[in-house]
Structure 1
Amino acid sequence: MRNLEILSPQNPRVKEWALLLEKKHRDKQHKFMIEGIHLVQEALRSDADIECVCYEIDRGIPAELSAAAAARLDVSWVAVSAAVIAKCSDTKTPQPVFAILRKANEQVQVDTLLNKPNSFVVVLDGVQDPGNVGTIIRSADAVGADGIIVGPGSADIYSPKVIRSTMGSIFHLPVVHQRLPEILQQAKQRGIRLAGTSLQAAANCYEYDFTGPVWLLFGSEGGGLSEEVRALMDDGLIIPMRGQAESLNVAMAASVLLYEGLRQRYFN
């Protein structure tokens, strides 16, 4: 365990950390930031690639993290001032701890998903709302899905709002950015079915077979799937509704289909 102390918000490392609040700098540095005891705890438990954990010097290392502080010898622990924490947070009431993580090798994760037998994967095509993206990641984790592939136009999975809404699930399964047409064509060549919600020629989702390899496609909140992704879809699914609601939002729809997949695969 290496302990450092940084008190000035003008410190060069602090300036680098603060830049991670913006996507272009997360992409450039290949790093991202998480905030709060729970998220840091989940990252430590999941053996995430953590560069450093920063905690408010006046409060000390939170008790919930003390065991991990002793165990994770590869992580630097940095005592920082309240001013440093405020500079590195996008919230009005910053948490007393944050961490800097290195991004995983996404291509390795994609190859793993493509080659996994009987894979159950979620694909997001232009899902822009960070809360929806985070909720879908959390639901996919809950049902034991194999991973999430996020296409261009969706919310950045490393943004603070997405990470907060995953409640730590982002550390429990592969979540990767990828251009969709190429990866979906590769999936089809491996016999993976591509299924998505649709109102045209759609099968009842409770009659669909989720027990084989299937990737679930979800499009933007307003426009649905893009034309190029819809053209690759094998099976259209409809979620039956008996009430008067016009539709479900994308996170709710994803959760319904994910749990039907869970039911068929493990509780049928």
Structure 2
Amino acid sequence: MKKVTSKDNQYIKQAASLKNKKYRIREQMFLLEGKKMVAEALQACKPLIRVLVDEAHREEYRPLAERYRDPEWLEVDSRVFGGIAAADTPQGIVAVAPIPHNDFSDLFKQSAGLILLDQISDPGNLGTIIRTAWALGIDGILLSQGCTDPFSPKAVRASMGGVLNVPIYDAVSLSAIEQLKSGGYRVIGTDLDARASIFTGDYKGANIIVIGSESRGVSPDIQACCDSLIKIPINPAVDSLNAAVACAIIMMEVWKQRNNAFLS
């Protein structure tokens, strides 16, 4: 590993800047932090630009660096590494990865099961939803304009590598949703006042299930695009569920139907 001791090194400055959304957009890169996520990305041959290791953890990560010589590895002075790490308890390893770009037109070539997140604002919720979508075989996640950044450090940590494994389509407009409808997709919104339960829906074909924001639910414009509305039947004494929890319940029902599975 090449040794880096200065915070003014171009790669150090670039990595530190990626904690800011403006620079993630400009560079089209993001940070993947932590032993498990970086190791999984390397093992799955996901594209990484470089890996930075805290010098205090050099021996811990040496076997990984020797096994995966591409991408570039840098050993970083501990004081300098502290300016890169975003986690409260850094594990001494950070990778710089390119932001994946997925072709929206591919969605018209399949009968995908998609989740549309409408103005989700909490990065922890978003990351958890992405992780759950990966676990339950969702084909893609659409993010409406106004959603929080899925490649922020907090969202990436919560996704536990899901951002590299689930196709994410950012800033999806109302017209794009209408195009998908014209291409055969049914848009199913969630609403607390809906009459139909999620357990009565059919999710085997080309579907887009809409989850609204934590505070306002599905926006009126997107709700107007919906072919039907559903709700999760819950104790009426509870006013609502956390967005990530609600999404997980719905995704499990989608997974069950699309895999002809019965839960025991």
Both structures adopt the same fold (TM-score exceeding 0.5) = yes
Contact 2:194–2:231 at 8 Å: present in 1 too?
Answer: no
**Pairwise mapping of residues 4-83 of structure 1 onto structure 2 (< 5 A)?**
4-60=2-58, 62-63=60-61, 66-67=63-64, 69-83=65-79
Q: CA RMSD in A?
A: 1.8
> Is the counterpart of residue 87 in structure 1 residue 83 in structure 2?
yes
1:184 maps to which of 174, 177, 186: 177
Q: Secondary structure at the match of 2:147?
A: coil
Q: Which residue of 2 aligns with 1:169?
A: 162
**Matched residues in 2 for 1:66 and 1:120: separation?**
39
Q: Which residue of 2 aligns with 1:111?
A: 105
Contact 2:197–2:231 at 8 Å: present in 1 too?
Answer: yes
1:245: Cα distance to partner? 1.5
Contact 2:56–2:92 at 8 Å: present in 1 too?
Answer: no
Change over 3 Å in CA distance of 1:47–1:113 after alignment to 2: farther
Q: Which residue of 2 aligns with 1:97?
A: 93
1:200: Cα distance to partner? 4.3
Q: Where do 5+ consecutive residues of structure 1 fail to align?
A: none
* Identity over aligned pairs, percent: 31
**Pairwise mapping of residues 114-125 of structure 1 onto structure 2 (< 5 A)?**
114-116=108-110, 118-125=111-118
**Pairwise mapping of residues 223-238 of structure 1 onto structure 2 (< 5 A)?**
223-238=216-231
1:70: Cα distance to partner? 4.0
Q: Secondary structure at the match of 1:58?
A: helix
Count how many residue pairs are aligned between Structure 1 and Structure 2.
Answer: 261
Q: Where do 5+ consecutive residues of structure 2 fail to align?
A: none
Contact 1:126–1:151 at 8 Å: present in 2 too?
Answer: yes
Q: TM-score scaled by structure 1?
A: 0.91
Contact 2:115–2:140 at 8 Å: present in 1 too?
Answer: yes
Cα-to-partner distance string for 1:11-33 (whole Å, 9 max, x where unaligned): 23211211100000100011111
- Structure 1 runs of 4+ aligned residues shifted over 6 Å read none
Q: Secondary structure at the match of 2:97?
A: strand
Contact 1:196–1:233 at 8 Å: present in 2 too?
Answer: yes
